[in-house]
Amino acid sequence: MNSHPNHIVIIMDGNGRWSKKRLMPRSVGHLMGASNLRSVVKSCVQKKVKHLTVFAFSTENWRRPPEEVATLFDLFVRYLKTEITELQSQGIRLRVIGDQSAFTPELQEQINLSQRLTANGTVLDLTVAINYGGRWDILQATRAWQNAHPYESLEQLTQEGLEPYLCTYPLPEPDLLIRTGGESRLSNFLIWQCAYTELYFSDVLWPEFDEHELQSAMDWYAQRVRRYGKTDEQIKASMSKKIESGKATGGVSPVTTASSLPSNSSSNGSNMATRPLFLK
Ligand code: FPP
């Protein structure tokens, strides 16, 4: 069984329905969603979660009405401007992932500034995915790998070799994915990274997903047995061995961690400007 998720990822769904139920415009739901993100970040700090990654805008969300897209992007700029001091004072390191080439210069500048100002935070890594799609990520990583290895063929590319080029690098793989709002799908979020992640689907709409809901998700996670393709018996045997040798990890997953990845990678992905901040 697990004890504590080191990396939580959240698909924040249900802002629109939250506002519709109250006969309010969708923009109000998104505003409340942003405010709830602030509370959930605080709860993660209190609960000693080290990495939190949230899905704020997908590559498919451009299909929404233009006014809603504009509202969301205004909100992202405002969030970055207003939250930065608080994030800094709480020791939170902010990073934005996704294809930033379509962003306004104002948003790009604000992202760069926010990342620079919070770069020394060690309490929590907050990663916000904007204009992110899992398929896009895998494709950009493959292209970046090929650009960095012009004399190698794709036959030589391995799973471990690709990972430093994914835009989540060097975050550890997510332990727990939470999706609010009642849907049970990944919607192209971190599809590579979540291969072994525990998936928790909640009917609660995002603006109402509070610290108690977060705790329920974490309690549920604590009951899961992560087998990584092994049998129950193998897991039990390896846990007993660890306990005997005093090395029980409390469920820390045997996944790729930042420190186990190559440190000299570079990338031509479109979020390249943000990546050097995270290279060790
Ligand atoms: C999905 O709910 C939510 C989004 C597409 C936007 C997520 C944005 C926020 C939580 C607010 C801002 C975030 C930051 C980083 C400032 P939906 O609109 O699809 O809801 P519905 O399914 O009920 O219509």
- Residue spans of the chain under pLDDT 50: 248-280
Q: Are residues 54 and 153 located together in one domain of the fold?
A: yes
Task: Decide: 83 in ligand 1 pocket, CB within 6 A.
Answer: no
Task: Quote the domain boundaries for residue 97.
Answer: 7-226
Q: Are residues 89 and 217 located together in one domain of the fold?
A: yes
| Among 7, 3, 4, 2, residue whose Cα is nearest residue 193 | 7
Atom number of ligand 1 nearest to Cα 26: 18
Q: What is the pTM of this model?
A: 0.85
pLDDT at 225: 85
147 C-alpha vs ligand 1 centroid, how far in Å?
35
Q: Are residues 147 and 240 located together in one domain of the fold?
A: no
Q: Are residues 203 and 244 located together in one domain of the fold?
A: no
Task: Decide: 51 in ligand 1 pocket, CB within 6 A.
Answer: no
Task: Decide: 128 in ligand 1 pocket, CB within 6 A.
Answer: yes
Residue with CA at minimum distance from ligand 1 atom 24: 16
Q: Are residues 244 and 119 located together in one domain of the fold?
A: no
Provide the percentage of residues in the chain whose pLDDT is more than 70: 86
pLDDT at 271: 35
Residue with CA at minimum distance from ligand 1 atom 13: 34
Task: Decide: 207 in ligand 1 pocket, CB within 6 A.
Answer: no
Instruction: Write down which residue in 207, 226, 245 finishes a domain.
Output: 226
Q: Are residues 221 and 253 located together in one domain of the fold?
A: no
Q: From 15, 39, 94, 204, give the residue whose CB has the most ligand 1 atoms within 8 Å, as the site to mutate.
A: 15
29 C-alpha vs ligand 1 centroid, how far in Å?
8
36 falls within a domain: yes
- The beta strand positions in the chain, using DSSP E, are 7-11, 51-58, 92-97, 124-132, 176-179, 198-201
pLDDT at 246: 66
Domain count, the chain: 2
Q: Are residues 218 and 242 located together in one domain of the fold?
A: no
55 C-alpha vs ligand 1 centroid, how far in Å?
8
Task: Decide: 33 in ligand 1 pocket, CB within 6 A.
Answer: yes
**Residue listed under structure tokens 């916000």:** 128
Task: Decide: 173 in ligand 1 pocket, CB within 6 A.
Answer: no
Q: Are residues 113 and 247 located together in one domain of the fold?
A: no
pLDDT at 66: 97
Q: Are residues 59 and 111 located together in one domain of the fold?
A: yes
Cα(142)–Cα(149) distance, rounded to whole angstroms?
A: 11
Task: Decide: 56 in ligand 1 pocket, CB within 6 A.
Answer: yes
Residue with CA at minimum distance from ligand 1 atom 11: 34
116 to 38, 88, 159: CA distances (angstroms): 20, 10, 30
Active site residue ranges: 13, 61
Cα(8)–Cα(51) distance, rounded to whole angstroms?
A: 6
27 falls within a domain: yes
266 falls within a domain: no
Q: Are residues 134 and 152 located together in one domain of the fold?
A: yes
pLDDT at 94: 98
Q: Are residues 82 and 98 located together in one domain of the fold?
A: yes
In eight-state DSSP terms, residue 95 is E
Task: Decide: 14 in ligand 1 pocket, CB within 6 A.
Answer: yes
256 C-alpha vs ligand 1 centroid, how far in Å?
30
Residue with CA at minimum distance from ligand 1 atom 12: 34
pLDDT at 280: 22
Q: From 12, 83, 84, 202, give the residue whose CB has the most ligand 1 atoms within 8 Å, as the site to mutate.
A: 12
Q: Are residues 222 and 245 located together in one domain of the fold?
A: no
274 falls within a domain: no
Q: What is the CATH number of the domain that holds 181?
A: 3.40.1180.10
Mean pLDDT, the chain, rounded, equals 88
- pLDDT tens-place string over residues 240-265: 777 777 654 443 333 333 333 333 33
pLDDT at 240: 79
273 falls within a domain: no
61 falls within a domain: yes
12 C-alpha vs ligand 1 centroid, how far in Å?
6
**66-89 and 26-46 are packed helices; what angle lies between their axes, rounded to 10 degrees?**
20
265 falls within a domain: no
